[in-house]
């Protein structure tokens, strides 16, 4: 239907009824994918997981909650923890990533990121930022950060200075939380507070696919758990680790078309 004077009455009527008479058909959303589980291993059910990453055989994990937030490192092959550091006071830990010789850990509403030694996780510095900190991952020459909105922010991997941003498109009301920068240059994001994972092109913000990742835990395991949060590609493979807040297991999976 074209919008001209003869159709004005119809336009008014359908507007009152909440129908868009002059709008075209809605564009189809991004394709839906699913999770194929390869295996699982134990995960600390007391860990309020905020960040997850595997680099050079080390699994880095950040946990949150006031007074009990931590930064952790473990041997990916054996699961043996090699370092753990508590955040000071009531600082609330968020996403974490390794960028060169620095492990960066976000804080939620405290307004600063913590720079850490990649082996000991000891604090080596801080960098201030505006807004909230949610997810963080590293690409070769920049960091990608989420803040609870539909915008991803790019930052310098050494200074943490803001270098740009992109707004997500192609998906209604995205809320990216924990992030993983995949080896192919794309980004995966937990869509808070759902069991969906968004596959994102960070160059233009397009959501390329939506991965449905519900039902990983048994009903008994789900009773003490909260939302899915934690994605980490296993380097050199098409496999990822997935876990969540207070989850008793961590899963090795592939993302496959339906």
Q: How far apart are CA 237 and CA 244, in angstroms?
A: 22
Per-residue pLDDT of the chain (258 residues; tens, 9 = 90+): 334 433 334 333 333 344 444 455 556 789 999 999 999 999 999 999 999 999 999 999 999 999 999 999 999 999 999 999 999 999 999 999 999 999 999 999 999 999 999 999 999 999 999 999 999 999 999 999 999 999 999 999 999 999 999 999 999 999 999 999 999 999 999 999 999 999 999 999 999 999 999 999 999 999 999 999 999 999 999 999 999 999 999 999 999 998
CB-CB contact of 99 with 116 (8 Å) = no
Edge-first strand listing for the sheet containing 207-212: 176-181, 187-191, 196-200, 207-212, 32-42, 249-257, 239-244, 228-233
Phi, psi dihedrals of residue 219, rounded to the nearest 5°: -55, -40
Q: How far apart are CA 216 and CA 243, in angstroms?
A: 9
């Amino acid at each position: 239907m074209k919008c001209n004077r003869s159709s004005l009455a119809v336009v008014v009527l359908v507007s009152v009824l909440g129908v868009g008479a002059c709008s075209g058909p809605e564009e189809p959303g991004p394709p839906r994918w699913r999770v194929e589980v390869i295996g699982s291993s134990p995960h600390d059910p007391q860990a309020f997981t905020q960040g997850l990453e595997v680099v050079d055989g080390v699994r880095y994990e950040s946990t949150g909650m006031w007074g009990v937030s931590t930064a952790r490192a473990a041997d990916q092959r054996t699961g043996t923890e090699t370092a753990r550091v508590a955040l000071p006071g009531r600082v609330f830990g968020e996403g974490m990533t390794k960028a060169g010789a620095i492990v960066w850990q976000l804080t939620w509403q405290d307004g600063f990121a913590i720079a850490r030694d990649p082996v000991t996780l000891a604090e080596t510095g801080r960098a201030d930022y505006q807004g909230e900190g949610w997810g963080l991952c590293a690409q070769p020459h920049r960091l990608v950060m989420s803040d609870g909105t539909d915008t991803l922010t790019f930052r310098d991997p050494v200074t943490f200075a803001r270098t740009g941003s992109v707004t997500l498109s192609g998906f209604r009301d995205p809320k990216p939380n924990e992030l993983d920068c995949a080896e192919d240059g794309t980004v995966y994001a937990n869509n808070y507070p759902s069991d969906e994972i968004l596959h994102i092109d960070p160059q233009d913000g397009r959501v390329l696919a939506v991965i449905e990742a519900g039902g990983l835990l048994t009903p008994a395991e789900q009773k003490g758990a909260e939302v899915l949060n934690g994605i980490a590609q296993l380097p050199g493979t098409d496999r990822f680790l997935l876990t969540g807040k207070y989850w008793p297991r961590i899963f090795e999976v592939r993302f496959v078309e339906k």
